[in-house]
Amino acid sequence: MTEGVWFETLWPGRRGRRGRMSQSLQKEDFGGRRAAVLAGIRRAAGAPAIVLGASFVGFGALVHQTGLSVWHALFSTATGWAQPGQVALFELYGLGASILVIGIAVTLTSVRLLPMAITIMPLVRAPGTPRWLYYLAANWVAVTTWAFAMRDCPRMPAEQRLPYFMGFSVTLWGVSLAATALGFALAGAVPLPVTLGMVFINPIYFMLMTAADVRSRARILAAVLGAAAGPALYLLTPDWSLLLAGVGAGSLGFLLGGGFRRRAEGA
Spatial neighbors of 205 by CB under 8 A, at least 6 apart, are 47, 51, 144
Q: Flag whether 17 is in a domain.
A: yes
Q: Does residue 70 surpass a pLDDT of 50?
A: yes
193 or 246, which is more confident: 246
- Give the pLDDT mean for 83-99: 86
Pick from 36, 2, 35, 5: which is nearest to 153 by CA? 36
Range of the domain at 235: 1-25+214-267
Q: How many domains is the chain partitioned into structurally?
A: 2
> Is residue 55 classed exposed, middle or buried when 0-12, 13-18 and 19+ CB atoms within 10 A define those classes?
buried
- Do 102 and 10 lie in one domain? The reply is no
pLDDT at 180: 94
pLDDT at 88: 86
- Do 143 and 267 lie in one domain? The reply is no
Q: Among 64-78, 184-198, 222-236, which stretch is predicted with the lowest mean pLDDT? A: 184-198
Q: Return the C-alpha torsion angle 95, 101, 106, 111, nearest 10.
A: -150
Rounded to whole angstroms, the Cα distance separating 86 from 104 reads 12
Answer yes or no: are the C-beta atoms of 168 and 41 closer than 8 Å.
Answer: yes
Count CB atoms within 10 A of the CB of residue 261.
Answer: 10
Pick from 123, 161, 114: which is nearest to 142 by CA? 114
The percent of residues in the chain predicted with pLDDT above 90, rounded, is: 26
Answer yes or no: are the C-beta atoms of 158 and 123 closer than 8 Å.
Answer: no
pLDDT range class, residue 55, cuts 50, 70, 90:
confident
Q: Among 29-33, 125-129, 217-221, 253-257, which stretch is predicted with the lowest mean pLDDT? A: 217-221
- Do 17 and 142 lie in one domain? The reply is no
Per-residue model confidence as pLDDT tens digits over 107-142 = 888 888 898 899 999 999 988 889 899 999 999 998
- Do 198 and 142 lie in one domain? The reply is yes
How much is the pTM? 0.73
pLDDT at 261: 55
Per-residue model confidence as pLDDT tens digits over 179-194 = 999 989 988 777 767 7
- Do 86 and 165 lie in one domain? The reply is yes
pLDDT at 186: 86
- Do 227 and 251 lie in one domain? The reply is yes
Q: Does residue 40 surpass a pLDDT of 90?
A: yes
- Do 78 and 42 lie in one domain? The reply is yes
The percent of residues in the chain predicted with pLDDT above 70, rounded, is: 79
Radius of gyration of the chain (CA): 20
